[in-house]
Amino acid sequence: MENLELKQVKKVFGSGSNQVTALAGINFQAKAGEVTLILGPSGSGKSTLLTILGGLQQPSAGEVLVNGQKLNELTGPAADQFRLNHIGFILQAHNLVPHLTVQDQFTLVDKVKTAGNLPAATFDQYLGQLGIQDLLPKFPQDLSGGQSQRVAIARALYANPDFILADEPTAALDSQRVTEVGKLFQKIAQQEQKAVVIVTHDLRLKANADKIYQLIDGQIKEVSE
């Protein structure tokens, strides 16, 4: 069973009077088959938590465990390979390549990660559910914020990662789209046994979450409902 775990994770930025404790000792686990939602106001440490969880930055203290193995023991190319093959990031800046069409954003994934990406039929289904099939010939500059957000979601899903880590993935979406995206994340978690972790202040995603946590001032707690 795939899982990602934080143990006593702390993250401190800066030093002296500029010191900021972004994460103050986080214990947290995300499991395959579940959508885990971490809610919190701006500045509460959501993006810091998500990037540490996916190995994009290192904690100041504590451990990140993937299926019980320490992620911070992986460095250099091994860490890059791990992220490439197992983690799908949906980041706030959608990071689409400006001079590539939407279709070619996905073709690029095939070039970087040559095996294990989604079969065409499955991916078509996801494109339909995200409502972006008609956008394939367009360039990022011709997309609305919501469209580019949905393309970024599709790109992360296309690589078929075990762990899908999303930072405010619905900020630019209207409520109907939020429901669609929430349902898609939950379907993928359940049917494909993926672990989906979403950090957000968007309460609309609660409807499709299996576990809900609250992050306040770098401290996390599980909330019921």
Ligand X SMILES: Nc1ncnc2c1ncn2[C@@H]1O[C@H](COP(=O)(O)OP(=O)(O)O)[C@@H](O)[C@H]1O
Binding-site ranges for ligand X (CB under 6 A): 13-14, 20, 22, 40, 42-48
Give the ranges where 54-101 is alpha helix by DSSP (H).
Answer: 76-86
Q: Which residue, 48 or 170, has its beta carbon nearer to ligand X?
A: 48
Amino acid at 42: S
Rounded Cα distance, 214 and 22, in Å: 14
Q: Are 91 and 50 in contact (CB under 8 A)?
A: no
At closest approach, how far in Å is the CB of 21 from ligand X?
A: 8
At closest approach, how far in Å is the CB of 109 from ligand X?
A: 26
Q: Are 25 and 219 in contact (CB under 8 A)?
A: yes
Give the ranges where 22-112 is alpha helix by DSSP (H).
Answer: 46-53, 76-86, 102-112
Decide: residue 11, CB within 10 A, 0-12 exposed, 13-18 middle, 19+ buried: buried
Binding partner of 137, given Mg ion, ligand X, none, CB within 5-8 angstroms per partner class: none
At closest approach, how far in Å is the CB of 47 from Mg ion?
A: 3
At closest approach, how far in Å is the CB of 56 from ligand X?
A: 11
Binding partner of 13, given Mg ion, ligand X, none, CB within 5-8 angstroms per partner class: ligand X
Q: Exactly one of 44, 47, 51, 186 binds Mg ion (CB under 5 A); which one?
A: 47
Q: Considering only 47-55, 66-74, 137-145, 170-178, which stretch makes contact with Mg ion by CB under 5 A?
A: 47-55
**Residue 48 engages Mg ion in binding (rule: CB under 5 A):** no
Q: Considering only 39-47, 55-63, 134-142, 147-155, which stretch makes contact with Mg ion by CB under 5 A?
A: 39-47
Binding partner of 14, given ligand X, Mg ion, none, CB within 5-8 angstroms per partner class: ligand X
Q: Are 20 and 11 in contact (CB under 8 A)?
A: no
Q: Which helix (H) or strand (E) holds 127?
A: helix 120-130
Binding partner of 177, given ligand X, Mg ion, none, CB within 5-8 angstroms per partner class: none
CB count, 10 Å around CB of 79? 15
Rounded Cα distance, 199 and 57, in Å: 16
Binding partner of 42, given Mg ion, ligand X, none, CB within 5-8 angstroms per partner class: ligand X
Binding site for Mg ion (CB under 5 A): 46-47
